[in-house]
Structure 1
Amino acid sequence: MRLGDFMLRPVLMLLLACILLLTLIAQPLLGFSPWQLPAALRTATALSAKLACSGYFISDQSLEQLADDIASYSPATRLVELSLSDDTVTATLGSSLYPAQARFKDNQGCTLVSQKPDAPAHQQLALNDIPTTSSLWPAGETTLIDPFWQEQLEQVFTDDNQQHLNTRALLWIQDGELQAEVYADGVTPYTPLLGWSMAKSLSGIWEGRIEAMGLASAQNHALFPQWQDDQRREITLSDLLQMTSGLDFNEAYTPGSDATEMLFFAHQAASIPLAQTPDHPRGEHFAYSSGSSNLLSYYLSELLGGPQQAADFLQRELLGPLAMANTVLETDPAGYLVGSSYIYASGRDWARLGQLLLNQGELNGQRLLTQEWVKRATTANGSDNDPRYGYQLWLNGPGELRWPALPADAFAMRGNRKQLVMILPSHNTVFVRLGWTKGHYPFEQHIAHLLTKAEQGTQ
């Protein structure tokens, strides 16, 4: 099946020539230099293959929607041709330039296939389905929707649509009950949607579960053999969790950057940050880093015995107890969870993670995290530049509030294209938003408005 209907094949070479010209005369427009053109086009096909494969096979998105989603990242992706064959999506420029493939496996999602002839084989994992029940959410999938809150959330959804914000799921959970949920056409309560960097928060929770079982401590150091003979030996799990490792990791998503190489070209994602050297002393400087999250997931996987044991642990100790039956944890080609970016989960499943944290580590009658760990996870880091980040969680304070219209105790899971799980302890509330917004999304105003409605309802 050909997806080239969304591309302008007759003028493909002309458009490629235009891109080359633009890189020479209008670098700020495209964001990369002329000598980065090959890397930019190579990245465009890899990104297109990966997102199209996952969006098609996991989220059941239409091909038209996927083409639009991918194009929001770069004008170069409009030139990419996609073809679908069985379980594989292939992306090329023209019929053969810069080919990239992503392959789908049940319960493991999509993984980019290396184009190098000597590349190691893709690690296949054996994963089981998480059973579902008819119990009331969050233990099962039965809900008791509150008409008042449903009306409020539908109004927010309508406002978003009028502003072309492309919201796909909104959920409002208060006092432990799913009060309202709204979904875009083609999206259901069971549709796994990409959380992008909200995956980091699950990686943090994974570490918390391991701590609760006495298998590790946040103060573990000497984490990797490659770090034993230099100052990186002193970096702790806590440093990775709080993104204060001091490692010089380039988070910019530009052609050839650390982040781009890690997500789209490395056989093992953690190999890129693993090779980085420090540019700050550990613990003193906050620097947002997807590399830190993949180092964290790599360390936890090795601690448990490798990729298969890690996947088994996550299903047995987190996804199963949390009833997260509509979640896919994608891996790199080596089989390690891409803990920074590649988790697809339904709105209800993302909400379960928020409710777990709101409940101080307990959900569905099981204590998965210690209260002490949740307190640490939502406590400011000790950096000298921005303490408002906990264990893979964004914090509202201390100091100048990140979200002034929201309570000071608010904290959140956040991802690219404005994915959000906001936890509001003082209001016993969780708010979930999933969608695909390139620019500003007014979640702060939405949540503040809904909190005002909640206060009015209790008067």
Structure 2
Amino acid sequence: MKKIILSLGAVIAAFVLALALLAPRLLGFSITELGNAVRVSTGMGAKLACSGRYLSGFDHTRNLNDLASYSPANRLLDLVYDDQAKRVTASLMGMGETSATFRPGLGCTLDIGDSSALDQVTVKPLAATSAPWPSGSGAPDIDPTLQKTLNAMLSQDNASGLNTRALLVVQDGKLVAESYSEGITPQTPLLGWSMGKSVTAMLVARLQAVQPESDTSSPLFPQWSDERSQISLENLLQMSSGLAFDETYAPGSDATEMLFGAHSASDIALQSPLAHPPGSYFSYSSGTTNLLARWVYEQLGAAPQASVDFFQQQLLAPLAMANTTFEVDASGVFVGSSYIYAPARDWARLGQLMLNGGEWEGTALLPEGWVNSASTPNASTNEPRYGYQFWLNGGGESLRYPELPADSYFMLGNRAQAVMISPSTNTVVVRLGWTKGDYPTGPNFARLLP
């Protein structure tokens, strides 16, 4: 018996040694980060599979392929779908069981801590009309030549493994071309990832338009009674808060804890110390955006129902965005950095609102001058080509996309999500997909401009 035990111990030791050596190459993480890596993998798995199934209508294979694009380890996930409860549970080789639950109008939220308050939130679906886009879901005014170009681009993208799911072009306020991959329709909500940052900024602007008395005095949060009291709302909008937030997407980082391990996503950045004087240094930070979402939440009374009602009534309803969902964390605050699901047509509506200078069908939804400020370079010393949660093509020593007009600016998200707003050509272009590497945004979008 002793010999058998020793042999078994040797096998286990050999397995652990092999895993330590092979994990960085095969699984995408070091064995020393195994605990954090499991949490990230199961948290991501439960969250994205839940939203993929109950918002986008994806099957298990597509969900798993999407997850595996981040790490080969995710192919080892065991995803269990409870369609009655609308809940997905994920575990990795029996470890780190995590679940996410779908709620109508709220999307999917990781089951971390007490999320019972979300069960009391009611969201009345917006009715779609048959009016032509952008007022409704009626037939668009298709340009045959541009449509042919778009179809060919989609086909070429996917033949090259770029996994483009939707392409759409708006010219002079009209939807003139749209193309979708298999299984995707004009009504399919697709994840925008960090394009949600731009929407969060627009939500801040809408709040300021409706409630000009909103408190922007210092400190923005009562927890900031120290040097962070000097951080302004504009600093947050321009990613120049100076907060030391780790945006690295690796096991154990601020960003992964925020998205896949925290009850309150905004708590991570709220507790971050100051690393630079506010306004002096640009540092891309998803935590900053979630602070903006929390600021909106608190200005509206710190109640999930109030936040959801405001978003529905003040942005979605006026823009006829009947198929868009802004997901919340377990504390009830919008995860503004990352979790908005919307069809290409709805993403285009948001782009058109910016192109219109914040007006929609004769009504000013955003404060006068806000769009200009949002698309103006910031005053940081290291990267001016960023406005109010929008990436700018110009404003620096070189154009971000040399093929595109200097005045164009963008909502951009992971996996090459993009909405381009081009004032000089009066054009909005939307691209949604799941590209692991680089996507030819500049060359492709240039082909679609007049």
Superposition TM-score tier, normalisation by shorter sequence: over 0.9
**3-state SS of the aligned residue for 2:110?**
strand
Task: Determine if contact 1:218/1:238 at 8 Å carries over to the other structure.
Answer: no
Does 2:46 match 1:49? yes
2:379 partner amino acid: G
1:75 Cα deviation after fit: 1.4
Identify if the C-alpha distance between structure 1 residues 15 and 389 changes in structure 2 by more than 3 Å, giving closer, same or farther.
Answer: farther
2:124 partner amino acid: N
> Which residue in 1 is equivalent to 2:8?
none
Does 2:334 match 1:331? no
Task: Determine if contact 2:26/2:72 at 8 Å carries over to the other structure.
Answer: no
Does 2:246 match 1:270? no
> Which residue in 1 is equivalent to 2:169?
172
Deviations 1:193-237 (A, max 9, x none): 000000001000011112222435796431111002x11111011
Distance in 1 between residues matched to 2:129 and 2:30, nearest whole Å: 53
Alignment match of 1:438 (pick from 422, 436, 439): 436
Which stretch of the first structure deviates more once superposed, 234-243 or 210-219? 210-219
Deviations 1:158-210 (A, max 9, x none): 11122111100000100000001001111110010000000001000011112
Deviations 1:311-331 (A, max 9, x none): 111111111001110101100
Identify if the C-alpha distance between structure 1 residues 64 and 27 changes in structure 2 by more than 3 Å, giving closer, same or farther.
Answer: closer
Deviations 1:270-311 (A, max 9, x none): 111100001100000000000000000001111011221111
1:20 Cα deviation after fit: 6.6
> Which residue in 1 is equivalent to 2:148?
151
2:102 partner amino acid: F
Alignment match of 1:393 (pick from 369, 390, 395): 390
> Which residue in 1 is equivalent to 2:129?
133
Deviations 1:12-61 (A, max 9, x none): xx999878735446646655433211110121111111100000010001
> Which residue in 2 is equivalent to 1:67?
64
> Which residue in 2 is equivalent to 1:261?
257
1:409 Cα deviation after fit: 0.2
Identify if the C-alpha distance between structure 1 residues 336 and 238 changes in structure 2 by more than 3 Å, giving closer, same or farther.
Answer: same
Does 2:89 match 1:90? yes
Task: Determine if contact 2:215/2:299 at 8 Å carries over to the other structure.
Answer: no
Task: Determine if contact 1:44/1:77 at 8 Å carries over to the other structure.
Answer: yes
Distance in 2 between residues matched to 1:22 and 1:430, nearest whole Å: 48
Task: Determine if contact 1:218/1:236 at 8 Å carries over to the other structure.
Answer: no
Task: Determine if contact 1:210/1:216 at 8 Å carries over to the other structure.
Answer: no
> Which residue in 2 is equivalent to 1:34?
31
Distance in 2 between residues matched to 1:314 and 1:155, nearest whole Å: 36
2:36 partner amino acid: A
Normalization by structure 1: what TM-score?
0.91
Distance in 2 between residues matched to 1:330 and 1:147, nearest whole Å: 36
Identify if the C-alpha distance between structure 1 residues 423 and 208 changes in structure 2 by more than 3 Å, giving closer, same or farther.
Answer: same
Distance in 1 between residues matched to 2:170 and 2:270, nearest whole Å: 39
Identify if the C-alpha distance between structure 1 residues 365 and 17 changes in structure 2 by more than 3 Å, giving closer, same or farther.
Answer: farther
> Which residue in 2 is equivalent to 1:195?
192
- Paired residues, number: 434
Aligned residue runs from structure 1 range 6-405, under 5 A: 21-24=18-21, 27=24, 30-85=27-82, 86=84, 87-94=86-93, 96-114=94-112, 119=114, 121=116, 123-124=118-119, 125-142=121-138, 143-215=140-212, 220-228=217-225, 230-306=226-302, 307-399=304-396, 400-405=398-403
Does 2:404 match 1:406? yes
**3-state SS of the aligned residue for 2:265?**
coil
Deviations 1:406-432 (A, max 9, x none): 110010000000000011110000000
**3-state SS of the aligned residue for 2:116?**
coil
Distance in 1 between residues matched to 2:371 and 2:91, nearest whole Å: 45
**3-state SS of the aligned residue for 2:244?**
coil
2:168 partner amino acid: L
Distance in 1 between residues matched to 2:363 and 2:13, nearest whole Å: 56
> Which residue in 2 is equivalent to 1:9?
none
Task: Determine if contact 2:135/2:319 at 8 Å carries over to the other structure.
Answer: yes
Task: Determine if contact 2:23/2:31 at 8 Å carries over to the other structure.
Answer: no
Distance in 2 between residues matched to 1:341 and 1:126, nearest whole Å: 22
Distance in 1 between residues matched to 2:371 and 2:13, nearest whole Å: 51
Which stretch of the first structure deviates more once superposed, 386-395 or 38-47? 38-47
Q: CA RMSD in A?
A: 2.0
Identify if the C-alpha distance between structure 1 residues 252 and 29 changes in structure 2 by more than 3 Å, giving closer, same or farther.
Answer: farther
Runs of 4+ in 1 over 4 A off after TM superposition: 14-20, 28-31, 216-219
Q: Which runs of 5+ in 1 are unaligned?
A: 1-13, 455-459
Task: Determine if contact 2:408/2:421 at 8 Å carries over to the other structure.
Answer: yes
Which stretch of the first structure deviates more once superposed, 288-297 or 24-33? 24-33
* Identity fraction in percent: 52
Deviations 1:107-161 (A, max 9, x none): 11111112x6xx4635332111112111111111111212121111111111112
> Which residue in 2 is equivalent to 1:6?
none
**3-state SS of the aligned residue for 2:351?**
helix
Task: Determine if contact 1:217/1:237 at 8 Å carries over to the other structure.
Answer: no
Deviations 1:84-113 (A, max 9, x none): 11211111123x421010111111111111
Task: Determine if contact 1:270/1:298 at 8 Å carries over to the other structure.
Answer: yes
Which stretch of the first structure deviates more once superposed, 362-371 or 417-426? 362-371
Distance in 2 between residues matched to 1:92 and 1:19, nearest whole Å: 20
Normalization by structure 2: what TM-score?
0.93
**3-state SS of the aligned residue for 1:222?**
coil
Task: Determine if contact 1:417/1:436 at 8 Å carries over to the other structure.
Answer: yes
> Which residue in 2 is equivalent to 1:417?
415
